[in-house]
Structure 1
Amino acid sequence: MAKAEFEKRWSLHGATALVTGGSKGIGRAIVEELASLGAKVHTCARNQEELDKSLQHWQSLKLNVTSSVCDVSSRAEREKLMELVSSLFQGKLNILVNNAGMSILKSSLEFTAEDYKNLMAINLESAFHLSQLSHPLLKASGAGSIVFISAVGGFLAFPLLSLYGATKGAINQLTRNLALEWATDNIRVNSVAPGAIITPLLKASFEASGDTSLSSVSSGVPMGRAGQPVEVATVTAFLCMGAASYITGQVIVADGGIMIGRSLN
C-alpha cells in the first residue's frame, strides 16, 4: 500500500494534459516531461511543420502525445481546441499548462496599438479564456491543475520589456484569483516564473539587441549560467503531481537566483 501511494504521488500515470505552445522551447520540454511521467498529452502550436517534427521525436520515445494546429490568439480557435481536447479525453482533463507566449522588445514609447493587442491576446487573454473553457473538464476529473508559464519579468523591470512584463504580472495575479475561486472545485492553480532560459524566443530577443553570444544572460545570474527548458519543465510537472496536492495560488520562480540579486563575482 505504501509503495502504491508513493507512486501515485510521484507519477502522472493515466492523467490527461493540454499544453499550449508545445512545439519548441519550454513548451516542448513540458510536453516531454509530462508524457514521460505517464500522462496522455495533447499540445498545440501555430506551425504545422514544427509540430510534426516534435511529434516524430515523441513517437520515437513512445510517448502518448497528440497535437493540433491552433493560433491561441483567436477566440474561435481556442474554442475549437477545447472541443477537440474534450473529445480526446472523454470530457475530463487533469492538467492545463498555459505556456504559449510571445515577446516584443521595444522602448515603451515605440510600442504600437497592434503590439499591445498582440501581446495581450497571446500572453494574457488566451491563457484566461482557455482556463475558463477548461474549468468544466478540470472539475469533472476530480483533481484539476492549471499551471501558467509566467516570467521573472512579472516581478522585475527589464529594459524594452514593459508590455511583456505587464502581461506576466497580470498572469501572476490571475493565478492567485483563480486559485481562490476554484479551490472548492478541487482545481489548483499555480505559475512557474522562469528567468533566462535558452529557448528560440530568448535567442531571437538577444540577437535583435546585438548579443549573439548571450554572454549578458549568464553574467546577470548568480548561478553563472542560463537555464535549460527541462529545468522549467520539471517544476511544472511537480506542480501537476499528487505530491503538490496542497499547493495552490503560488508563483514558483526558477531563475538561477536572479530574483535574489546579482552575483558578486
Structure 2
Amino acid sequence: MSTSREQRWSLKGMTALVTGGTRGIGYAIVEELAGFGAAVHTCSRNQQEIDQRLEEWKDKGYEVTASVCDISSKEEREELINKVSSVFGGRLNILINNAASVIMKDATQYTLEDCASIMSTNVESPYHLTQLAYPLLKASGNASIVFISSVAGVTGLPSISIYAASKGQLSYSVRRAE
C-alpha cells in the first residue's frame, strides 16, 4: 500500500480562495491546496508578485488563478468575489481568510488611524468577505471556511499590540460563531 499523498486523499474537483496567497503562510496554503488537486484563486495587492507566483505554479502544473485585491477595500472585496464566482462557475468549496496587516510600533506610538486600518483589514475584511462568499460556498454543497489567526492573539508580543488585538478578536469571534 502506497503512502503518497495523492493516494491518501485528493481535493480534485474542489475550488478554493486564499487571500494573501503570494507570500508566507498564504503561499504555503496555495501550494498545498493546489498540490492536492484543488483549483485555487488567490489575491494580493501586488501584481508583480502575482505574475511571479503564477509562473511558478504553472511550471508545477498547479491550477491557480489570481487577481489584484486590497482586502481592506469593500469594493475590491466585492470585485474579488465576482471574479471567483466567474472563475469557479458560481461555486466555492474552501475560503481561506489569510491576508492581514501589521504595523510595528510601540503601543504608545499607534495613531487612531493605525488602529482603524489594522482592525478593518484583519477583522472586518475577512468577516465581510465570508458574507460575500456565502452564496458560493452554499452552492458548492460542501464548504469550509478557515480564518488564519496568530499566536499574537493569545500572548503579548512587543511592537504589535494592535495586530495582536485584531487576531485575538478574530479568534474569539470565530469560536463564538461555531
TM range (shorter): over 0.9
Q: Tell whether 2:127 aligns with 1:128.
A: yes
1:42-121 to 2 correspondences below 5 Å:
42-121=41-120
1:35 alignment counterpart: 34
Distance in 2 of aligned mates of 1:10 and 1:60: 23
What secondary structure is seen at the aligned counterpart in 2 of 1:18?
Answer: strand
Q: Deviations over 1:88-139 (max 9, x none)?
A: 1111100000110121111221100121121112111111111111111111
1:147 alignment counterpart: 146
AA matched with 2:106: S
Distance in 2 of aligned mates of 1:136 and 1:106: 39
What secondary structure is seen at the aligned counterpart in 2 of 1:66?
Answer: strand
Q: Deviations over 1:119-161 (max 9, x none)?
A: 1121111111111111111111111101111000111111122
Q: Give 4+ residue runs of structure 1 displaced > 3 Å after superposition.
A: none
Which has the larger Rg?
1
Q: Deviations over 1:48-83 (max 9, x none)?
A: 001100110000001000000011110000001001
What secondary structure is seen at the aligned counterpart in 2 of 1:109?
Answer: helix
Distance in 2 of aligned mates of 1:156 and 1:45: 28
Distance in 2 of aligned mates of 1:117 and 1:86: 30
2:164 alignment counterpart: 165
Residues 9, 89 of structure 1: CA spacing in aligned structure 2 closer, same or farther, 3 A cutoff?
farther
What secondary structure is seen at the aligned counterpart in 2 of 1:157?
Answer: coil
Residues 51, 117 of structure 1: CA spacing in aligned structure 2 closer, same or farther, 3 A cutoff?
same
AA matched with 2:123: L
What secondary structure is seen at the aligned counterpart in 1 of 2:109?
Answer: coil
Distance in 2 of aligned mates of 1:139 and 1:10: 23
- 5+ residue gaps, structure 1, are 1-6, 181-265
AA matched with 1:64: E
Q: Percent identity of the aligned residues?
A: 55
CA RMSD, aligned part only? 1.8
Distance in 1 of aligned mates of 2:140 and 2:122: 26
AA matched with 2:100: G
Distance in 1 of aligned mates of 2:8 and 2:89: 24
2:21 alignment counterpart: 22
Distance in 2 of aligned mates of 1:8 and 1:40: 18
What secondary structure is seen at the aligned counterpart in 1 of 2:107?
Answer: coil
Cα deviation for residue 8 of structure 1 reads: 9.3
What secondary structure is seen at the aligned counterpart in 1 of 2:58?
Answer: helix
Distance in 1 of aligned mates of 2:7 and 2:142: 13
1:251 alignment counterpart: none
Q: Deviations over 1:158-215 (max 9, x none)?
A: 112211111101111222233x3xxxxxxxxxxxxxxxxxxxxxxxxxxxxxxxxxxx
Distance in 2 of aligned mates of 1:128 and 1:93: 16
What secondary structure is seen at the aligned counterpart in 2 of 1:23?
Answer: coil
What secondary structure is seen at the aligned counterpart in 2 of 1:91?
Answer: coil
AA matched with 2:136: L
Distance in 2 of aligned mates of 1:92 and 1:31: 18
